[in-house]
Amino acid sequence: MQNVIAYQGYEGAYSHLACKNAFSDMEAVAKDSFLDAMKMVEDGKAKLAMIPLENSTAGRVEEIYRLIPKMSLYVVGEHFELVKHCLLGLKNSKIDDLKYILSHPQALAQCQNNINKFSLKAVAKLDTAGSAKEVKEKNDKAFGAIASSLAAKIYGLKILKDDFEDIVGNKTRFFILSKDKIIPKYNPQKTYITSIIFQVRDIPAALYKALGGFATNGINLKKLESYSNKSGVPVSNFHIDIYAHIKEKSMQLALEELSFFAEKVKILGVYNKFSK
């Protein structure tokens, strides 16, 4: 298997930046879609995939919750990447030259106050780095982009304003996916996360009962998300992240109770809590 990590987007995307920061010794390869990036791992053409799950400002990436149940990959880690938006333009331009600002809708929303401040017209695009690439290709000083400093370097653009985001400290959480099921050896001195997806049974108070085992066994839930599988079947699907390792007795008891009130329970992975 190649020493490759796949991500969705153009070169210079925040996912690309996350790959470089988390796995500097690996070759980062861009793919057109999340599915293509994940399939590259499934096909053995990449060792890992860096997939965004949620953003502290914009919320969850809805598409990922639909893809996760279908994948044959495992979560082997998480990574948090600080999102620092830059206002980019051509090398010979300045902010006063700009009329249009291109970027992904989430990036535009995260910079709305500054966009208004400079009286710019926002133009939604599919990708931040792709927007930077388009500005370079247009070669028109009226067009700028909101993207990363890495995108500025790759596409030869000028950073007209750093920290262009409205809220400082915005972070994106990524799942690191592998074809191999890698579970770290349990160490009581470390903090682990177990990610699980399941459907609740068609019984009264099913979710309350399904999660009750975690409370009675003193296990803390980090995250609970509901999502639709868009199959037309009226069932409730949930994703939970739990501060526990599956080798812990309390966790085993909680999972046993979960199985009474839920079905299609799938452990996505057990991994170390991100720390930096």
* 50 phi, psi to nearest 5 deg: -105, 110
Residue 166 placed within a domain: no
CATH number for the domain harbouring residue 242: 3.30.70.260
Position 190 scores a pLDDT of 95
Question: With a threshold of 0.95, does the pTM exceed it?
Answer: no
Which among 127, 146, 178 is the end of a domain? 178
Residue 212 placed within a domain: yes
Residue 237 placed within a domain: yes
Shared domain check, 91 and 59: no
Tell me the C-alpha distance between 108 and 114, whole Å: 10
Domain count, the chain: 3
Known catalytic residue at 174: yes
Shared domain check, 109 and 74: no
Residues of the chain with pLDDT under 50: none
Residue 16 placed within a domain: yes
Position 233 scores a pLDDT of 57
* Backbone angle region of 264, left / alpha / beta, with phi > 0 → left and psi within -120 to 50 → alpha: left
Shared domain check, 38 and 67: yes
User: For the segment 59-86, what is each residue's pLDDT rounded down to a tens digit?
Assistant: 788 888 888 888 899 999 999 999 999 9
Shared domain check, 61 and 34: yes
Query: Which pair of tokens denotes residue 184?
Result: 């770290």
Which among 178, 204, 228 is the end of a domain? 178
Scored b (16 or more CB within 10 A) or e, 170-179 reads bebbbbbbbb
Known catalytic residue at 118: no
The DSSP code for 189 is: T
Q: Among 34, 174, 198, 238, which one carries the catalytic annotation?
A: 174
CATH number for the domain harbouring residue 19: 3.40.190.10
Q: Among 34, 172, 194, 261, which one carries the catalytic annotation?
A: 172
Domain that holds residue 205: 192-272
Position 230 scores a pLDDT of 61
Residue 184 placed within a domain: no
Position 276 scores a pLDDT of 67
Tell me the C-alpha distance between 88 and 135, whole Å: 9
Shared domain check, 66 and 110: no
Position 17 scores a pLDDT of 95
Position 227 scores a pLDDT of 81
